[in-house]
C-alpha cells in the first residue's frame, strides 16, 4: 500500500546525489519520526504509569529515543549538506555515518538501562495495576506497533530513494520499536491473567532487542571508517562493465572510498603490455566513462601490463623465433641484434643488425642480404625487410653484449 502512494506522500525534490537535496529528504523523514514518536511516547508513558508496567514504560522511552535519534539525523544531514572546502575536499558526506554511530550508542545505553530495571522488577517483584484495563491497553499498544511499522516503511522508502544508511538505520529503529510493542502487549495480557512476571521478562526482551539493533548499527557505521570492502554486487557490476569495454584483459584490486554522496573507486586494469601510452590512456578513459554512466561513481584507474599474452604478442614471438632460427643457420653471420617486427597495415616491417666478418667483400654481403630476404619473404609473405651489416672487429662491444661465439 505504501509503495503505491509513496509518490504522493514523498515529494520529488530532485537529484538525490546533491547533498542539499539529500538533506531535504532527511529533514522530511526526521520530521515525520519526531511527530509520530512524540505522540507514541506520551501515550505509552501515561498508560505505563497508570498500570505500573515496566515493559510499557520501557517501550515508551524506546519511542522517545527515536525522537532523539531523529534529531541526530537532522544534525547529520545538515553537516553532510555543506559544500567541500580546503579541509574536506570530498565534502562532508561522512557526517551521516557519524550520526549513525551516535544513534547506535544511544540505543545501547537505553537498552542497558532497561535491562537493569527489568532484572530489578524480576527480583523484587511488582504488581500490574488496573488489570481491568489490561486488554484495552494491550489493543492500543498493538495499534502503536502497526503505526511504528508504517513509520519504518516510510523511512525505508526514503532511505532507498536517496541510498542513505542513516535513514535505513532509523527505519530499523522504528521496526525494533514495533516488535518490542508486540512483546509488551503480550506481557500485559499475561500479567492480566495471573502471570505478572511476564511484564519484566518482556521488558528484558525489549531491552535486548534495543541493544542488538544498536550493536548492528555501530558495527555497520564503523566499517565505513575502517575501510569497508565493496560488496560483491558492486564488484560483479564493475567486472561486467569492464568485460564490455574494449581492450581490457582483466581487472583486480577493486577498492571503494565512500565519502557519502561522493564515492570513488580505485581499480587495477590489465591491458596489453605492447600498447602505447596514449592508447592505454584512451582505454582507461572509456572504462571511467562507462562506470560513471552506470554507477555514478568516480574512478581512479591504475594500468597494469596483462600477464595474458595477446594474440598479437604471440604472433610476434613466433615470428621472432623463426627469424632467429634462420639467422643462426647462416655461417657468415657471427651474431645479430636489434631484431624487431613492426606490424603496420597489411605488411610487416622486419629490421635487424647483422655482425659479419670485417673482410667480407661487398658482393658477398649483397648476396647474403638477398638470400635472407628471399627466405624471410618465403616464410612470411609480403613484408618489408631492412638489414644493416656491421663489421666484426676484435673486442667489439656488440660481440661482448650479443655474440655467444
**What is the tens place of the pLDDT at every residue in 251-285?**
777 777 766 666 777 888 887 766 677 777 888 88
- State the Cα–Cα distance between residues 380 and 167, nearest whole angstrom: 67
Same fold, 232-305 and 311-402: yes
Pairing of strands 262-271, 298-305: parallel
- State the Cα–Cα distance between residues 232 and 335, nearest whole angstrom: 55
- State the Cα–Cα distance between residues 367 and 356, nearest whole angstrom: 13
Task: Please determine, for residue 16, whether its predicted confidence score (pLDDT) is greater than 60.
Answer: yes
Task: Please determine, for residue 186, whether its predicted confidence score (pLDDT) is greater than 70.
Answer: yes
Domain ranges of the chain: 2-225, 232-305, 311-402
pLDDT grade, residue 292 (50/70/90)?
confident
Nearest to 281 by CA among 266, 290, 269, 292: 269
The helix, strand and coil proportions of the chain, stated in percent and rounded to the nearest 5, come to 65, 15, 20
Fold of 311-402: Alpha-Beta Plaits (3.30.70)
Angle at 71 between CA 67 and CA 76, to 5 degrees: 140
Task: Name, in order, each residue with C-beta under 8 angstroms of 35's C-beta and a sequence gap of 6 or more.
Answer: none
pLDDT grade, residue 312 (50/70/90)?
low
Q: Length of the chain, please?
A: 405
**Helices (DSSP H) in 226-254: which residue ranges?**
232-243
- State the Cα–Cα distance between residues 68 and 66, nearest whole angstrom: 5
- State the Cα–Cα distance between residues 219 and 260, nearest whole angstrom: 17
List, as own/partner pairs, every contact residues 287-292 make where C-beta atoms lie below 8 angstroms and the sequence separation is at least 24, other chains included: 287/241, 287/242, 287/245, 287/248, 290/241, 290/244, 290/245, 291/238, 291/241, 291/265
- State the Cα–Cα distance between residues 396 and 393, nearest whole angstrom: 6
Q: Are 207 and 112 in contact (CB under 8 A)?
A: yes
| CATH number assigned to the domain with residue range 2-225, chosen from the 4 options 1.20.1510.10, 3.90.180.10, 3.40.190.10, 1.10.300.10 | 1.20.1510.10
Q: What is the pLDDT of residues 40-57, one digit of tens each?
A: 888 888 877 877 766 677
Q: Are 37 and 131 in contact (CB under 8 A)?
A: no
pLDDT grade, residue 400 (50/70/90)?
low
Q: Which one has a higher pLDDT value, 90 or 375?
A: 375
Domain 232-305 in this protein, CATH class: alpha beta
Q: What is the pLDDT of residues 315-334, one digit of tens each?
A: 777 888 888 888 988 888 88
Amino acid at each position: 500500500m505504501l509503495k503505491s502512494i509513496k509518490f504522493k506522500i514523498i515529494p520529488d525534490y530532485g537529484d538525490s546525489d546533491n547533498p542539499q537535496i539529500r538533506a531535504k529528504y532527511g529533514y522530511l523523514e526526521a520530521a515525520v519520526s519526531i511527530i509520530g514518536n512524540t505522540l507514541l511516547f506520551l501515550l505509552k508513558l501515561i498508560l505505563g504509569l497508570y498500570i505500573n508496567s515496566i515493559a510499557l514504560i520501557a517501550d515508551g522511552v524506546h519511542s522517545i529515543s527515536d525522537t532523539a535519534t531523529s534529531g541526530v539525523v537532522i544534525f547529520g544531514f545538515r553537516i553532510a549538506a555543506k559544500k567541500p572546502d580546503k579541509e574536506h575536499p570530498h565534502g562532508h558526506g561522512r557526517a551521516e555515518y557519524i550520526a549513525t554511530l551516535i544513534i547506535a550508542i544511544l540505543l545501547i545505553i537505553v537498552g542497558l538501562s532497561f535491562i537493569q530495571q527489568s532484572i530489578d522488577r524480576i527480583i523484587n517483584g511488582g504488581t500490574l495495576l488496573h488489570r481491568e484495563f489490561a486488554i484495552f491497553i494491550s489493543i492500543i499498544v498493538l495499534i502503536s506497533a502497526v503505526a511504528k511499522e508504517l513509520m519504518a516503511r516510510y523511512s525505508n522508502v526514503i532511505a532507498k530513494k536517496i541510498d542513505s544508511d542513516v535513514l535505513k538505520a532509523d527505519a530499523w529503529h522504528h521496526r525494533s520499536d514495533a516488535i518490542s510493542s508486540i512483546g509488551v502487549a503480550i506481557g500485559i495480557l499475561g500479567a492480566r491473567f495471573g502471570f505478572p512476571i511476564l511484564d519484566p521478562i518482556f521488558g528484558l526482551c525489549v531491552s535486548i532487542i534495543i541493544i542488538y539493533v544498536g550493536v548492528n548499527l555501530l558495527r555497520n557505521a564503523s566499517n565505513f571508517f575502517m575501510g569497508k570492502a565493496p560488496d560483491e554486487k558492486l564488484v560483479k557490476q564493475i567486472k561486467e562493465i569492464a568485460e564490455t569495454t574494449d581492450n581490457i584483459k582483466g581487472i583486480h584490486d577493486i577498492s571503494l572510498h565512500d565519502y557519502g554522496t561522493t564515492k570513488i573507486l580505485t581499480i587495477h586494469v590489465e591491458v596489453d603490455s605492447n600498447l602505447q601510452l596514449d592508447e592505454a590512456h584512451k582505454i582507461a578513459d572509456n572504462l571511467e566513462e562507462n562506470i560513471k554512466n552506470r554507477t555514478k561513481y568516480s574512478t581512479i584507474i591504475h594500468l597494469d601490463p596483462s600477464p595474458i599474452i595477446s594474440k598479437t604478442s604471440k604472433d610476434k614471438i613466433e615470428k621472432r623465433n623463426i627469424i632467429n632460427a634462420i639467422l643462426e643457420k647462416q655461417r657468415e653471420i657471427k651474431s645479430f641484434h636489434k631484431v624487431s617486427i613492426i606490424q603496420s597495415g597489411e605488411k610487416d616491417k622486419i629490421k635487424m643488425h647483422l655482425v659479419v666478418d670485417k673482410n667480407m667483400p661487398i658482393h658477398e654481403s649483397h648476396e647474403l642480404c638477398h638470400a635472407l630476404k628471399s627466405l624471410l619473404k618465403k616464410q612470411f609473405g609480403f613484408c618489408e625487410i631492412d638489414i644493416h651489416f656491421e663489421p666484426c672487429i676484435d673486442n667489439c662491444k656488440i660481440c661482448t653484449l650479443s655474440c655467444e661465439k
